[in-house]
Every structure is written in C-alpha cells, then in structure tokens.
C-alpha cells in the first residue's frame, strides 16, 4: 500500500482506508444502537402486533403462554430473552457479544453480520499486505527487523479465523431462521420444547435469508 501511494496509485490505499473506516462505523453503530429491547407492557400494547413481528415470525402456538420476565417484569414476546449484562429483555435475542459490549438482537443483528463481513475483508487484505512484506530468512538479524511484522501477521491470522467462523456460523443459523440462544438451549426453551416441529420458524433457506436481510 505504501509503495502504491508513493507511485501515485491511490485507489487501493484509499479503498483500504475506507473499508477500515466503514468497519469502525459499523462497530460503533452495532455497539451503541438499541438491539431490540422490550418496552414496558403499556407501550407494547400501543405498538401493536405490527411492531412485534418485524421478521415475519409466526405467532406463538396456542399451547405456549407468553410469560412475564422475572427480572424486569415485562411480558416477554416469543423469542425474547432477558440479558443479565444489559438488564433488559431483548427481542429475538441471539447473544451478548463481548466484542461490542452489547446484545445482538432483532434490530442490530443484520448490522452485526455486515460488520463481520467488512471486518473479514479488512483482515484478509491486511493479512495479504503483511505477508507481502515478509521475506523469510534464517538469521537473527532478519528476525529482529521483522518481529513486529511477523507478530502482526500471526495476530491477523488468529482474528481472521475467529471472524470467519463467527460469520459462517451466523449465516448458517440465519438460513435456518434460528438464533444462537435457541440453537444452544433448544431443550430449555418452552416454545421449542413443546413444538411438534424441530424448528417451527424455518420457512426455507431463501425466505429465511430474505426476511432477515430485507
């Protein structure tokens, strides 16, 4: 990138900087936005059903009664869960992410996927740049001059692996119209445990992806 900038070829360096900036903005957006906190019951009734099923999720089966949260005392919609760290119930709760210090839920889950995607591109590009600067030689002097670059490359490889696994796992769960919490705790969730179907929300891969992203 530095050599390209020195030759006046600014397109790729500028694109790389824009991707990094986009990644930071997405991180801030996902971290600071409301993930889909459940409002008090009075506000919930005023909002109506249209605001409660934003992803086209089927209504709760008749045998499953919606319960009141024992922590914040709001009536939990189906697929909502109370987060002990946020101290709020979150609609279509997926998980609490320590990277962003926020829950991933109904409202910010698509942006979280966008953040992971952009971050993966930045890491792959950064890994390529770091690798291109490594000209391996078996000497102590070479190691002294390249130790920081080598450590950076190894860190990039680790983070790339983590982000790739996260992105692939989330895309798989989205294609099945399930969440991380539902996938990990299927046997403890009443509306899944009492359902005749293994996943009552699955409407096919294409429709699941369409409803999630569009």
Q: Is residue 181 part of a domain?
A: no
The answer for residues whose C-beta is within 8 angstroms of residue 128's C-beta and 6 or more apart is none
Q: Is residue 153 part of a domain?
A: yes
The 3 state secondary structure assigned to 112-134 is HHHHHHHHHHHHHHHHHHHHHCC
By residue count, the chain amounts to: 214
- Catalytic residue chosen out of the listed positions 97, 103, 176, 214: 97
| Per-residue pLDDT tens digits for 133-190 | 777 666 666 667 777 888 888 999 999 999 999 999 999 999 999 999 999 988 888 8
| Per-residue pLDDT tens digits for 45-99 | 545 554 444 444 444 444 556 678 888 888 888 899 999 999 999 999 999 999 8
Q: Is residue 40 part of a domain?
A: yes
Q: Which residue range is the domain that position 161 belongs to? A: 1-32+107-176
Q: What is the DSSP string of 200-213?
A: TT---HHHHHHHHH
> 140-175 and 109-132 are packed helices; what angle lies between their axes, rounded to 10 degrees?
160
Are 79 and 69 found together in one domain?
A: yes
H-helix segments, 33-139: 41-52, 109-132
Are 72 and 121 found together in one domain?
A: no
**Domains identified in the chain, total number:** 2
Are 111 and 165 found together in one domain?
A: yes
Q: Tell me the whole-structure pTM to 2 decimals.
A: 0.81
The answer for residues whose C-beta is within 8 angstroms of residue 75's C-beta and 6 or more apart is 41, 44, 66, 67, 68, 69
Are 40 and 97 found together in one domain?
A: yes
Active site residue 97: yes
Q: Is residue 194 part of a domain?
A: no
Are 39 and 101 found together in one domain?
A: yes
């Amino acid at each position: 990138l530095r050599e390209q900038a020195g030759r006046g070829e600014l397109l790729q360096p500028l694109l790389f900087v824009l991707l990094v900036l986009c990644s930071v903005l997405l991180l801030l957006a996902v971290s600071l936005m409301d993930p889909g906190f459940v409002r008090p019951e009075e506000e919930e009734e005023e909002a109506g059903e249209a605001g409660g099923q934003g992803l086209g999720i089927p209504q709760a089966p008749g045998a499953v009664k919606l319960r009141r949260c024992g922590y914040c005392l709001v009536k939990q919609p189906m697929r909502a869960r109370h987060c002990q760290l946020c101290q709020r119930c979150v609609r279509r709760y997926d998980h609490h992410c320590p990277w962003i210090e926020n829950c991933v839920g109904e409202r910010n889950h698509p942006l979280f996927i966008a953040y992971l995607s952009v971050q993966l591109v930045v890491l792959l590009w950064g890994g390529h740049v770091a690798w291109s600067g490594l000209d391996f030689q078996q000497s102590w002097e070479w190691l002294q001059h390249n130790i920081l670059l080598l450590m950076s490359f190894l860190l990039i490889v680790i983070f790339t692996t983590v982000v790739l696994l996260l992105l692939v796992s989330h895309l798989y769960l989205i294609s099945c119209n399930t969440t991380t919490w539902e996938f990990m705790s299927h046997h403890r969730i009443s509306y899944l445990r009492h359902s005749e179907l293994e996943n009552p929300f699955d409407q096919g891969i294409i429709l699941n992806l369409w409803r999630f992203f569009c």
